[in-house]
Amino acid sequence: MTETPKTKLYINPDKINYFPGYKLNPEKLVGAPQSVLPYILGCFYFKEEYEYYDVVKPYLDIPEPRKSLEEIKQELDEKFEKLIENTKNKFYQSKYISEKLYNTKFNRIIENFEYARENGYFPVKLKFVSDTGLSVNNTTTSFEIRCGTNHAGYYTIGAGNVRYYMNEKPNWLVRNCAKIFFDFTWKSV
């Protein structure tokens, strides 16, 4: 077997910190006047030693100088302080809103019980009446569906929380089938 000769890499010490210059940005040249054109022709990198550097400088990609550790630490501390302040404000807002909602709901419950004590039933929560005569009443304990104004009776569904009012009383067979198959109980008005 023949061994391949190992080559040594020679590094020129003059080229270690080689800086070609700042790169020309073609996007910045879009609005440049024609008077700048002769200074940039044929070059893509420009160093500060270039005699017309001040003319060409606005069209170069010059990186921002690096920030010191103190500046970075100060910016980070400011961001953390702002974030902590925002978090405290949001917690305060959510606490205030939740307390307000709790108080309003609790007051509403107390008002409903007082109303029920005076009138013997809880107040109607939702009442929808359409142009066709269909109305829906939603109380705290039941849901009613009414069609028209003349009611012969209603079906109670399940435990009686849902009532469906009808204008005509169904016959005996329909009432019994509804009771057996669907647990709908008929009650005359």
Q: Which range marks the domain in which residue 41 is found?
A: 21-61
Q: What does the pLDDT average to over 113-137?
A: 67
85 within some domain:
yes
153 within some domain:
yes
In this structure, are 107 and 148 located in the same domain? Answer: no
56 within some domain:
yes
In this structure, are 130 and 184 located in the same domain? Answer: yes
pTM for the model: 0.33
16 within some domain:
no
38 within some domain:
yes
How many structural domains comprise the chain? 3
In this structure, are 39 and 78 located in the same domain? Answer: no
Can you list the alpha helix ranges (DSSP code H) found in 13-170? 37-40, 53-56, 69-119
- Taking phi over 0 as left and psi of -120 to 50 as alpha, with beta for the rest, 120 belongs to left
In this structure, are 171 and 134 located in the same domain? Answer: yes
> How many Å apart are CA 50 and CA 53, to the nearest integer?
5
Q: Kindly tell me if the per-residue pLDDT of 76 is higher than 80.
A: yes
10 within some domain:
no
> How many Å apart are CA 170 and CA 184, to the nearest integer?
12
In this structure, are 136 and 184 located in the same domain? Answer: yes
Query: What pLDDT does residue 70 have?
Result: 92
Query: What pLDDT does residue 145 have?
Result: 78
Query: What pLDDT does residue 139 have?
Result: 43
Query: What pLDDT does residue 140 have?
Result: 44
Q: Kindly tell me if the per-residue pLDDT of 179 is higher than 60.
A: yes
Query: What pLDDT does residue 5 have?
Result: 55
The model's pLDDT over 27-68, given as tens digits with 9 standing for 90+, comes to 777 777 766 766 666 566 777 777 777 787 877 777 778 889
**Residue of 57, 16, 174 whose CA lies nearest to 185:** 174
